[in-house]
Amino acid sequence: MVGGSAIRGSRVGAGPMGEAERGDSAPRLHVSYFCSNHHETRPAFSAEAQVPETWDCPRCGLPANMDSSNPPPPPKTIPYKTHLAYVKERRTDAEAAEILAEALSDLRLRRASGEIFY
């Protein structure tokens, strides 16, 4: 008996097979959701559960709703902003030049007085 198993096709801890042993399944409701990439998703919900208005598409990740002719638009992606971009939003070029001139004059005074900078 090479590599044989007394119980083929089952595993330890496997439960009974078939509907008769498990009982009847709960009533379900299949709802169709449509995304802007024309994907259709049909998740199953309990008949008593409240069905959500939107659902994330498992294929592309975009939001989907139940209206096939008017799916929700893809969300707008905000590009990454650098620190300099945020500074430029707060200050004009004239203000930046004024701050730079003030910092340089302060640096020159400190160097003239003998302070060491690395």
26-65: in CATH 2.40.110.10: no
In the block, residue with structure tokens 């975009």: 62
* Residues shown for the chain: 118
Please give the structure tokens belonging to residue 43: 């998740």
Question: pTM for this one?
Answer: 0.53
Residue pLDDT, tens place only, 102-116:
999 999 988 888 887
Q: What is the pLDDT of residues 29-38, one digit of tens each?
A: 999 999 999 9
Q: Where are the beta strands (DSSP E) in the chain?
A: 28-30, 33-35, 40-41, 44-46, 54-56, 63-65
State the average pLDDT over residues 89-114. 91
pLDDT in tens, 13-65: 666 665 556 667 789 999 999 999 999 999 999 999 999 999 999 999 999 99
Q: Where are the domains of the chain?
A: 26-65, 83-112
